[in-house]
Copies of this chain bind each other. A is one copy, B any other.
Amino acid sequence: MTALTPDELRLWHAWKRASDAVRARVGEEITAETGLSDPDFGVLSRLEDLGHGRLRQNELAASMGWHRSRLSHQLTRMEERGLIDREDVQRGVQVSVVITEAGRTAIATARPVHATAVRRHLAAHVPADQLPQFIAALESLAG
């Protein structure tokens, strides 16, 4: 009810700035080097890591915490760009998403860029001796 205290306000502003900055920097480096957007990278990573290149749309959405319509719109754009194909199973239901050769090439190029960006823009700023508590706080926030 009462207004935020100076400490709470400082925490909020620092959180928001850090949140925006890390997202923007990692995303920009991937886009600059590979042309993939952040969501493109997420989808292609999951396809390879969880499904070896093929997943049902349903499983893909669940693994990313996305709503159906969000994934559907995203896949439509990725299909137009040639990064994935959709294959119908059982006449229009349970659609399988398959990574294309172009998709494989793109994600292979993007992975090391992503790793470097995560190290530079996130991991490097968390002192090693605080890492466990930092991760614990993040996991509590996410929960």
Contacts and interface: CB of A to CB of B under 8 A. Distances in A.
Interface of A: 1-4, 7-8, 10-12, 14-15, 17-23, 65, 111-112, 115-116, 118-119, 121-123, 125-127, 130-131, 133-135, 137-142
A130 to B, nearest CB: 6
A21 B126 CA distance: 20
B18 A139 contact: yes
A111 B134 CA distance: 29
Contacts of A140: 125
Contact of A133 (B22, B122, B130): B130
Contacts of A23: 19
A125 B112 contact: no
